[in-house]
């Protein structure tokens, strides 16, 4: 596995964010595609959550040791489509999937309750909590669109059909410049798009010729500093995505990212291997 820092250069293509496969081997392409929909990392207050396929685990030492977490009783082996800790209430963990809808745990994943509410479908393909409002949640339903709850999942309202390309992941950002409380950043097969959370229209936020963007994060305390993971490496933007520069080239896709602090990042490869960077993604070391 090779990770090569690159000279900073502009990412080709139209890049305009106000804000979340160029392959060699066919098996690797399939692995990356599968992992994109089923891999997730989330870190808050010393706990790291990892979702791989239909398995959920927690680590309290940044990935050196893992403990499996129970899934809701209604889970029947289908893949998880999101696993994210609340940035406001870190003991609160959300998971979603086609078998379980939207589920919430308030004890780090030990017990679960459905917050499906009046959502019209269980087929939740992407999910994110609001960055600063604990009761505001966003769920993307396949072939329907983005729903918002402002009461912790008791009731939901269809807000938008989403970008024209299907959403594969969704994050909420509190980056300045929104006319409301923040931004929704969505990843599709080939690009990143975003909208103010007033749902005032979607903008292109990154058209990466290297292939799909598997994950986007912002650095803690620096909401305009973004890291994007693609099949061929990482890209960095220090102005909310208005321009992107190549950061690190890789020979295997990184399919999930999370930040421990403004310098320390964690990533999952398409094969489920955890990597650590202590320099904002420029170099990476495996966690053995």
pLDDT of residue 7: 44
The predicted model scores a pTM of: 0.85
- Tokens coding 203: 């903008």
**Is the per-residue pLDDT at 11 higher than 60?**
no
What are the domain boundaries of the chain? Answer: 3-286
Q: What is the pLDDT of residues 212-224, one digit of tens each?
A: 789 999 999 999 9
CATH of 3-286, one of 2.130.10.10, 3.40.50.880, 3.40.190.10, 3.40.390.30: 2.130.10.10
pLDDT of residue 207: 64
**Is the per-residue pLDDT at 30 higher than 90?**
no
CA 132/CA 181 separation, integer angstroms: 9
Stretch 89-104: mean pLDDT: 95
Q: Which residue has the higher pLDDT, 206 or 169?
A: 169
Stretch 96-116: mean pLDDT: 95
Asked if 81 and 124 count as a contact pair (C-beta separation under 8 A), the reply is yes
Asked if 213 and 191 count as a contact pair (C-beta separation under 8 A), the reply is yes
pLDDT of residue 25: 25
Q: Please report where in the chains the tokens 């959502």 appear, as a residue.
A: 119
- H helix runs in 156-258, sequence order: none
| Selection from 62, 81, 152 nearest residue 113 by Cα | 152
Which contiguous run of DSSP H or E holds residue 31? helix 26-38
């Amino acid at each position: 596995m090779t990770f090569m820092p690159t000279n900073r250069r502009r990412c080709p293509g139209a890049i305009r964010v106000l804000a979340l496969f160029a392959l060699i081997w066919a098996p690797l392409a399939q692995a990356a595609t599968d992992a994109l929909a089923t891999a997730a990392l989330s870190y808050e207050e010393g706990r790291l959550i990892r979702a791989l396929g239909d398995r959920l685990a927690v680590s309290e030492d940044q990935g050196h040791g893992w403990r499996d977490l129970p899934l809701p009783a209604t889970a029947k082996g289908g893949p998880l489509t999101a696993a994210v800790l609340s940035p406001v209430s870190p003991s609160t963990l959300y998971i979603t999937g086609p078998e379980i809808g939207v589920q919430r745990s308030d004890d780090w994943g030990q017990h679960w309750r459905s917050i499906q509410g009046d959502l019209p479908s269980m087929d939740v393909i992407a999910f994110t909590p609001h960055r600063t409002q604990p009761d505001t949640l966003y769920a993307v339903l396949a072939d329907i669109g983005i729903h918002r709850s402002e009461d912790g999942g008791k009731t939901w309202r269809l807000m938008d059909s989403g970008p024209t390309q299907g959403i594969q992941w969704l994050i909420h950002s509190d980056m300045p410049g929104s006319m409301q409380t923040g931004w929704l950043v969505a990843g599709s097969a080939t690009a990143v798009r975003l909208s103010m959370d007033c749902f005032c229209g979607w903008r292109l936020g990154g058209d990466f010729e290297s292939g799909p963007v598997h994950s986007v994060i912002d650095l803690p305390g620096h909401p305009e500093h973004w890291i994007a993971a693609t099949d061929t490496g990482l890209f960095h933007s220090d102005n909310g995505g208005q321009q992107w520069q190549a950061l690190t080239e890789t020979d295997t896709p990184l399919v999930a990212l999370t930040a421990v602090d403004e310098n320390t990042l964690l990533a999952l490869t398409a094969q489920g291997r955890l990597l650590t960077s202590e320099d904002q993604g420029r170099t990476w070391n495996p966690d053995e």
